[in-house]
Structure formats: structure tokens, C-alpha cells
Amino acid sequence: MSVSDETILFNTNADEGENRQAAMVLQEVYAALKEAGHNPTVQLVGYLVSGEPTYITSRHDARRLISGIERDELVEELVRFYVKHKGL
């Protein structure tokens, strides 16, 4: 198996409205996880890596909310937020 020197471009069709929706869902799910007594960061990472919805509490419909957004859109929003706030 060889590794290519070529870069694969990842294109999304997410528009500004979808980005705002992903941000809103992340905020609501984070708050619900915290309220439920969980570590929101650990639970969200578990969900994003595995796709297993049981990492997310059903409190305040958080599990339903996060299941309505593609995981790659959530990761994209997290990276966008990080880069923007780190000034990269």
C-alpha cells in the first residue's frame, strides 16, 4: 500500500444556514449534556468518532437534534470555530 503525495480536496455543500444550524445544535447538545451531569466534550467526541447516538443524552431532545445534522458538518463547524478563535 503506497501513500499518495496528492492532496484530496474535501468539498461540502454546506451553506451559511447549515453552519448556523450546526453551531446551534452543538450549543444545545452541549448544554443538555452538562445539565445531565456528563462531560460534554468527552460525550461529543465519542459521538463524532463512532456515530453512536447513545453518547448523547435524550434530555431536551438533544439526541434527536444532533442526529439531524451530518457528523462531518458538526466537525466542520468545530474546526471553523477553532480556527476563527485561534486566529489561524
**For 30-67, what is each residue's pLDDT tens digit?**
999 999 999 999 999 999 999 999 999 999 999 999 99
Q: What is the pLDDT of residue 17?
A: 60
Confidence of residue 19 (pLDDT cuts 50, 70, 90): confident
If phi over 0 gives left and psi between -120 and 50 gives alpha, with beta otherwise, what is residue 61?
left
Q: What is the pLDDT of residue 18?
A: 58
Q: What are the structural domain ranges in the chain?
A: 16-86
- φ and ψ of 80, to 5 deg: -60, -45
Q: What is the pLDDT of residue 14?
A: 55
